[in-house]
Amino acid sequence: MKQGKRARSKQRREESLSPDRIVEASIALLDSSGEKGLTFRALSERLATGPGAIYWHIASKDELLIAACDAIVAHTMNAPVDGKTPKAIIRALALAMFDAIDEHPWVGSALTRAPGQLPMVRILERIGQQIRALGVPAEDEWATVSALLGYIVGVGGQNAANTQFAREQGLDRSNFLDEVSSVWSQFDPDKYPFTRSVAGQLRSHDDRVDFLAGIDLMLHGIESTRGR
């Protein structure tokens, strides 16, 4: 009798297992332990099931990572954004993606390994629609959206990597920037005049503000090109 109850309980657990639950648990593992912590063993323990039940839905760790990444990107790209013009919407989408990668550092590296897959396509489509709405000529659309996409993923990923490095090394951001700024200010003025001149700005710079400044420069360039 007890054996029958255990069998039915196990069957109910496996029947209740869904791709969404697996992805949700995977995101939690990735956020807490990074890519190294995402294993089918750890996932099966979190979901109180066997690895075989997970393999029924997800074939490999790479597929699992992409599915988790896609869930974050889909949520970010589908969320309402402030902005009534294509330019304002691009700024809002770019910043939302920057914040999402900052909150989930593993997303940046996952995106670089999925260039043609759904997570990147979601960003491409959402940004691309706004590029078209800006009136960019059809022959320039691909180059334009590719440049924006590369900036968003590249800068967002690098910022997340810096944050992750600081956490792993136990570094305080302000102290670290102060130290780097001090080193820069002592460089040879003949060889590194620019670096010395911006050393003081390094101490108080805001990563999100800098990111948006880059987006604005690109949007300004797009508008200038369209004007010509």
Which residue range is the domain that position 6 belongs to?
1-59
| 96 and 121 share one domain | yes
Alpha-carbon separation of residue 7 from 10, 14, 16, 109 (angstroms): 5, 11, 14, 41
Global pTM reads 0.85
Residue among 96, 99, 100, 94 nearest 68 (CA)? 100
Summarised one tens digit per residue, pLDDT across range 44-99 is: 899 888 877 887 888 888 899 999 999 999 999 999 988 789 999 999 999 999 99
| 28 and 138 share one domain | no
| 151 and 221 share one domain | yes
Number of domains in the chain: 2
Helix (H), strand (E) at residue 1: none
Whether 196 is in a domain gets the answer: yes
Exposed, middle or buried, 168 (CB in 10 Å: 0-12/13-18/19+)? exposed
Of 59, 80, 108, the one marking the end of a domain is: 59
Looking at residue 50, which CATH number applies to its domain? 1.10.10.60
Summarised one tens digit per residue, pLDDT across range 108-123 is: 989 988 888 999 999 9
| 148 and 171 share one domain | yes
| 49 and 77 share one domain | no
Looking at residue 174, which CATH number applies to its domain? 1.10.357.10
Vertex 220 angle, CA 217 and 223, to 5°:
155
- The 10 Å Cβ neighbour count of residue 55 is 12
